[in-house]
Amino acid sequence: MTTAPDRAAPEPTVLALGLPDTVRDPDLPARVRIHEVGARDGLQNESGLVPVEVKAEFIARLAAAGLRTVEATSFVHPKWVPQLADAEELMPRLAELPARYPGLRLPVLVPNERGLNRALAHHAGEIAVFASATETFAQRNLNRSADEAMAMFRPVVERATAAGVPVRGYLSMCFGDPWEGPVPIAQVVRHGVTLLEMGCTELSLGDTIGVATPGQVKALIDEFTRSGVPVDRIAVHFHDTYGQALANTLAALRSGVTIVDSSAGGLGGCPYAKSATGNLATEDLVWMLHGLGIETGIDLAALADTSGWMARHLGRPSPSRTVRALLGPTA
C-alpha cells in the first residue's frame, strides 16, 4: 500500500535531495582549484567601510567552508582603495588560520615595492601583482603605460621570488576594454608572457568588464598554449555583466584550465571601470562544478550560509542566484 505524502511536511532542500545530480564529463578536469577573491576584489568596491573584524570572520568562514585559496587583502595606498586600508590590522587576525585549515593559502595584492615591503613585514606567504593588457586601463589604474607597469612589477616579482614568496600575475582587460573596445589576442599574450617570464608562477586572465564569449576564451587560451605557456599556469577571472561567466568558465575548463577565480556571493566590481559588474559567484560556480562531477573540496551549504551572512552585513541581498535559491530571495 502506498503511503500518501504528508502535505504539511516541509519541502526538503535541494542539497538534502542529492542535487545537483552528478553527470561526469570525462573531457573535463577531475578537480578545480577555486581562487576565492571575495574578501579582496569582492569588498574593495563597497562604499561603506566593512569592519576589520567582519572581514576576518568572513575569511575564516570561507576557509571553514572548504576554500583553500582565499585572497585576503591588498597593500595599496589607502587613498586609492579606502576599503582595504586596514590590511595591517587584518593580517594578524588571520595568522592562525593556516594551522587550523592545512593547505590554506592567503595571498595578498601589492601594487609596487612599497606594498611588497608592507606585505613581507606581515609575513604574507603569497602575493599578486595586477597588470593591464591595454594602455588606457593601465593609465587609469596604474597611472603609467602598460610596459612601464611591467617594469615596475619586475623588481617586486624578483624580490618576492628571492624571499621564497610565490607571485601570481593578474592581467586585466583581456577580452575587451571600455575605452578601446576589442583587445587583440597577440597583445594579451605578449603581456601575459612577460608576467610569467619575470617569475610569476600563475597568470590570471581577467574579463574585467564581462564581455567575453566562449569562443573568444578558447581562442585566447589556445594562443597562450601555442606560445609555450603550460595550461596549468593559467587561471581565468570572469565577471558576469552579460551573463556569460559560467559559459566562459566551461569553455576554459574544456581547454584544460583548472584554476578559476570567483567571489563568494558574487561580490565585486572594479573601482576603475564603471562597466565592470560583479564577479562570477563562487556558489554558482560550485553548483556547476559539482553537477559535472568535478571535485572542489567545498561545502556548498556552508559557503551559501557565509555569503548570506555577509549580505546581511552589507545590507542587501546576495547577487548569487545559487545563494538566493538555497537561502531564499532576500538572502
The distance from CA 181 to its chain's CA centroid, rounded to whole angstroms, is 23
Q: Which residues neighbour 110 within 8 Å (Cβ) at sequence distance 6 or greater? A: 74, 75, 76, 116, 118, 119, 127, 128, 129, 156
The count of other CB atoms within 10 Å of the CB of residue 14 is 14
The C-alpha atoms of residue 120 and residue 272 are separated, in whole angstroms, by 27
Catalytic residue among 119, 212, 253, 270: 270
Q: Is 280 in contact with 323 (CB distance < 8 Å)?
A: no
Nearest alpha carbon to residue 296 among 251, 243, 249: 249
| 200 annotated active-site | no
Percent composition of the chain: helix, strand, coil (DSSP 3-state, to 5): 40, 15, 45
For residue 259, which of 244, 280, 228 has the smallest C-alpha distance? 280
Grid cell at residue 321:
542566484
Task: At 294, give phi and psi (nearest 5°).
Answer: -95, 125
Contacts 24+ apart (CB under 8 A), 221-229: 221/252, 221/255, 221/256, 221/257, 222/255, 223/185, 223/186, 223/189, 224/189, 224/192, 224/193, 225/255, 225/256, 227/189, 227/193, 229/192, 229/193, 229/196, 229/203
Sign of CA dihedral 235, 240, 242, 244: positive
Known catalytic residues are 270
